[in-house]
Structure 1
């Protein structure tokens, strides 16, 4: 019996040793921006036989196909605004001969002003680097993807909340918002590779957990996250909640408040329930909250997505009282910069219809600025991002230019992050949700799909 066990153990060890001997050391591919040599995340390489690799936040790819080692190989290069020159047949790509343990660098050309800094959420942010034996310090945060973000300064920190969330153990994840906190200026550098670790509110297993499960069936979504003064001089964190029935139908909306003790949002007040008499909700605080001081020196908070549709005083009492809300008219389009050019596919229109986005006061420009997704854009239906300016948060908004493009892929609900950078900085940072939803994409980008991606726009270099 002992001999039989020893033989089986010896056979298992032999298989293990043989498998280890056959393991192939990856071929390292670095993707960099030709203009500044910064690493470029989310660039896809595809072989002739349709094996695909996507660069991580360090711009790295670990190519490990045994059948192509030592073989001259064509890689198609696709990068959502980053590309290489086309050859005589119109193919955009490069040739390389992969060798185990060797490396190459591929330079890509950026077509639009904003630079992709990297992914903020999800798994495998440095997955390719780690396959190459690098970034062993990076630890995973237990989610694979999450929908649009809301942020607000609160309690000396920056409070974050995201919509529906993907987990590894089942296709259905969290559907009542997850949350986290970070420092108010959470990035140590505004150059890639970026690495943002969140202090998530988690369950007992360390997985980011629901924080806004309002009564009723279906998911809970939060909008208009805002910090307010209460009657004691303290601060409260509030939001508008929306209850959803499949596919995307709202049936209840109201206000909720963050509970510091339970680390949950509690329902504060129901504003609307769908009925025959009230089939649609009234105007409510939504989108993103933006502080504003009017010409008389009076403080307000503006709510809009991207442009303000409602304002109230920044107090808990005023925010809680619909009779103290004031609705605002919103421009239905933005005029573009006077240019005689195309975006590479179609002529640039003179007017752009915004989908969603956010606004902020910018000290460097001494103007209000906005980043928004174009509705009915091209080449992506909801993936073209524009920048515009105004003397007032109410508009008119003009002189818009396209700053980000996505090739038949969606990039929706972009949010500005003026709090990330020092006052007066020419660097404008914004993130949005990168997803194949509402797009013509034939497949989804591994690891990156349904996650938040950060871009940088240098206002002092913007050619307007």
Structure 2
């Protein structure tokens, strides 16, 4: 309380009315002055929030776009990571007003190496000032930003920017599934981290967006999901099926029945131990409860036999054959299952057709054979071909973090030469999912996302905020760097 108010509160009760009036007359200007100073201080706090730190802008040296997920590391191992706006806020007193060397780590973005091979920059951070770090993109894929988790604009908000942004109440999300259903884009994620406890949600979390969820196809990315919540306002598991362990969904797609009614359906798996499937089947979204329900169980480990093909991860793709029959293909990345594209055929599991996908693709770099591990395919109107983005099994420098692009005239193959489009330094980036529905049909831009995680890497140190979350990338299909993949298909058809 201001000193004047304290004085009035403690004024002796035996003061006369005149004495109190005289006291107030003398003290009131002091009281008002105190409030004025306090109000000015609060306003000044808002106005000078950007003066409390040094703003570091990380930008692409060619496009000028902000670059998320670029780390600056000091020689004493303090780490800073650019947010979705490509911003880092430095307010560490030990780093301000002195020259500091920052190593730059960018997973596909870098700065030139010096004579000793170090890649970094020297900066002198000062409060209220801006420094710009220009990084050169070495990957063909362009990073757009992070889709899930907290702190998407944490660095910018420290500097007073993007204060209207509110993170979803989720810290991390595994592999994405999505489909257009009833005029909306439905999204589902695997095991999900939350703030309140180390064990999170293991029954799939989900949300919706419009069918055009991104206002721009370049950074800064501001993805807003309308999450399905429990009665306490927390994200809920939408596939809480009986049995121990996580529930994982894949093959996520909307199919119409013979009456034209759409059904959002998926494969489900129950998991135990070290990623072991012990039950698999078909499930369907209930619009009234906003949850999935089991349609039928097709396999249980307790009953013997091998897990069915649907027990493997997979993404859907629609294909019309030469006879005009419309099919649904499931693969990860290349098709392994073929079923007619309607709800009744999907439920008729016994009549699903199993396919044998191409086992390897030839690298455009050195003719080595690349083994696909996970990914998806789509028909691309710009290329007038099928295209795929997939993760390599046991790639370098990251065993599960190197991605490739290839094309084919048919989803059944043969698939042409593969071009490396993205890699990571001892970090994992798996289960890439192509998003053909969120870009212009005739455009040359292709979007994909994947799970960025320290899991399955060689003792990698998790990246703050970003670890175990979905990162969105774009490919410009008119990029000359993709030409080896685009021209190789012709040689497959003499």
Count, aligned residues: 437
Contact 2:228 2:235 (C-alpha < 8 Å) held by counterparts: yes
1:236 aligned residue: 263
Where 2:97 maps in the other structure, the secondary structure is coil
429-438 or 61-70, which moves further after superposition? 61-70
In 1, Cα distance between equivalents of 2:322 and 2:211: 28
Q: Deviations over 1:154-198 (max 9, x none)?
A: 010111100000000001110000111111111111111111100
Deviations 1:241-285 (A, max 9, x none): 00011221110000001001111100110000003631x212228
TM-aligned CA deviation for residue 462 of structure 1: 3.4
Distance 1:136 1:277 in 2: 56
Deviation at 1:231, TM superposition (A): 3.4
Length-normalised TM-score, structure 1: 0.92
Alpha-carbon RMSD:
1.6
Unaligned 5+ residue runs, structure 1? 8-16, 340-347
Q: CA deviation at 1:336?
A: 2.3
1:286-325, aligned counterparts within 5 Å?
Answer: 286-325=313-352
Contact 1:113/1:462 (8 A) holds in 2: no
Q: Would you say 1:283 and 2:309 are equivalent positions?
A: yes
Alignment of 1:431-442 (within 5 A): 431-442=449-460
Task: Give the superposition deviation at 1:323.
Answer: 2.2
| Shift, 1:232, TM fit | 2.5
- Contact 1:85–1:92 (CA<8 Å) still a contact in 2? yes
What is the match of residue 238 of structure 2? 211
How far, CA to CA, are the matches of 1:441 and 1:60 in structure 2? 27
Partner of 1:77: 104
| Aligned residues of 1:409 and 1:441 also touching (Cα < 8 A) | no
Q: Whose helix proportion is higher, 1 or 2?
A: 2
Q: Distance in 2 between matches of 1:205 and 1:163?
A: 21
Query: After TM superposition, which residue ranges in structure 1, 4 or more long, deviate above 3 angstroms?
Result: none
In structure 1, which of residues 189, 192, 199 is the aligned counterpart of residue 219 of structure 2?
Answer: 192
Match of 1:449 among 455, 458, 467: 467
Structure 2 Cα separation of the partners of residues 311 and 251 of structure 1: 24
CA contact (8 A) 1:222 1:242 kept: yes
Match of 1:356 among 362, 374, 396: 374
Give the match's secondary structure for 1:67.
Answer: coil
**Is it true that 1:249 corresponds to 2:263 in the alignment?**
no
Q: Distance in 2 between matches of 1:353 and 1:277?
A: 30
**Alignment match, 2:168:** 141
TM-score scaled by length of structure 2: 0.86
SS of the equivalent of 2:421 reads: strand
Of the candidates 351, 360, 365, which is equivalent to residue 333 of structure 1?
A: 360
Pairwise CA distance, 1:68 = 1.7
Superposed CA deviations along residues 70-92 of structure 1, whole A, max 9, x for unmatched, are 11100010000111011111111
2:427 aligned to 395, 409, 420, which one? 409
Aligned to 2:396: 378
Q: Which has the higher strand share?
A: 1
